[in-house]
């Protein structure tokens, strides 16, 4: 009986986290560059139930497996491209990324699902590389973002919406010296001043992450990477299928209908587990206060 009580309680905690994830997605439906988060659940380690006693000449004494609950293991970001929306602001940028990966056995392009992964016949998982803007926080730490709604400060620094420095290909903060006259950026990220036609300084730092699921979400559309080697961080190569569009921003890729359905499903599942807990509570009350007196 106690096992069932703990199983139902674990289900309630899991559904609460699932509900929180759906709420977070809905709250960021208008956040530029936001990537939808999906809660991943798994069961607790399964218990092998075996037959005790009975016929000793029976070689098969296994009855089966028993799950002892569920846990919300992690939240995974869905890196599917959001809708590119025109803003007409020269300091807004959007990355249109569709980097192809070749299958080493067939030589064909690997087809990825909406989560950005592909599983081969032998179980090998391949993730789709993603392009990010490389920025620097106030502590001098490198961060990565899809939110290209930048702004130019009074002293000419190109900043993110949260005030992080936007970096060039040499990992130096970008300074637009004649920002009053505006500036232009081509589809490869080269910044060109309209006054003299020269790069300022050369190009935006667009980083390619080979293993995007190694990234850690920090909030405000910003990610950090604890192990750059494991994540496969590199600079965008010439000719790769990544284009920069000036005057546009990438919208959130949250599917509002799906998020609302997930939220309502989590509420219903939470209520079902809650009723199970109440049932066990009444059963234990009878066992202690009524059966115990007999």
pLDDT digits (tens, 9 = 90+) for 108-151: 888 888 778 888 888 888 889 999 999 999 899 999 999 999 99
Identify the CA nearest to 251 among candidates 21, 22, 34, 24. 34
Cβ 191 vs Cβ 200: under 8 Å:
yes
Q: Any idea which residue has 């559904």 for tokens? A: 15
Confidence of residue 294 (pLDDT cuts 50, 70, 90): low
Q: Any idea which residue has 């699902």 for tokens? A: 113
| pLDDT value of position 55 | 58
Number of C-beta neighbours around residue 38 at 10 A:
17
Q: Angle 2-27/256-286 helices, nearest 10 degrees?
A: 160
| pTM check: above 0.85 | no
pLDDT at 106 over 70: yes
pLDDT digits (tens, 9 = 90+) for 146-179: 999 999 888 888 999 889 999 988 899 988 776 5
| Contacts (Cβ under 8 Å, ≥6 apart) of 130 | 79, 97, 99, 116, 208, 209, 212
Number of C-beta neighbours around residue 59 at 10 A:
6
User: H helices of the chain, where?
Assistant: 2-27, 228-231, 256-286
What is the percent of the chain where pLDDT is above 70? 85
- Between 90 and 239, the more confident residue is 90
Of these ranges, 81-85, 180-184, 218-222, the one predicted with the greatest mean pLDDT is 81-85
pLDDT at 181 over 60: no
Confidence of residue 180 (pLDDT cuts 50, 70, 90): low
pLDDT digits (tens, 9 = 90+) for 184-214: 888 888 877 666 555 555 689 999 999 998 9
Confidence of residue 39 (pLDDT cuts 50, 70, 90): confident
pLDDT at 254 over 70: yes
């Amino acid at each position: 009986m106690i096992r069932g009580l703990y199983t139902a309680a674990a289900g309630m905690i899991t559904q609460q986290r699932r509900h929180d994830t759906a709420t977070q997605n809905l709250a960021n439906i208008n956040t530029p560059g936001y990537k939808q988060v999906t809660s991943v659940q798994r069961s607790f380690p399964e218990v092998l139930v075996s037959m005790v006693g009975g016929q000793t000449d029976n070689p098969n004494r296994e009855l089966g497996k028993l799950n002892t609950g569920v846990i919300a293991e992690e939240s995974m970001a869905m890196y599917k491209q959001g809708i590119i929306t025109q803003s007409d602001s020269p300091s807004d940028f959007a990355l249109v990324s569709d980097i192809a990966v070749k299958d080493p056995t067939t030589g064909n392009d690997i087809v990825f699902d909406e989560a950005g992964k592909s599983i081969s016949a032998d179980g090998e998982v391949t993730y789709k590389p993603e392009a990010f803007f490389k920025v620097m926080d106030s502590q001098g730490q490198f961060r990565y973002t899809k939110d290209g709604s930048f702004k130019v400060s009074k002293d000419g620094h190109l900043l993110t919406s949260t005030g992080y420095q936007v970096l060039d290909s040499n990992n130096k903060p970008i300074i637009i010296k004649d920002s009053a006259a505006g500036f232009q950026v081509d589809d490869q990220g080269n910044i060109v001043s309209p006054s003299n036609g020269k790069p300022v300084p050369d190009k935006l730092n667009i980083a390619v992450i080979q293993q995007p699921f190694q990234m850690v979400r920090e909030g405000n559309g910003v990610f950090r990477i604890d192990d750059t080697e494991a994540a496969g961080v590199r600079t965008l190569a010439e000719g790769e299928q990544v284009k920069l569009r000036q005057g546009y921003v990438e919208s959130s890729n949250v599917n509002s209908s799906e998020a609302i359905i997930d939220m309502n499903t989590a509420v219903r599942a939470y209520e079902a587990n809650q009723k199970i807990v109440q049932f066990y509570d009444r059963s234990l009350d009878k066992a202690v206060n009524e059966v115990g007196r007999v």
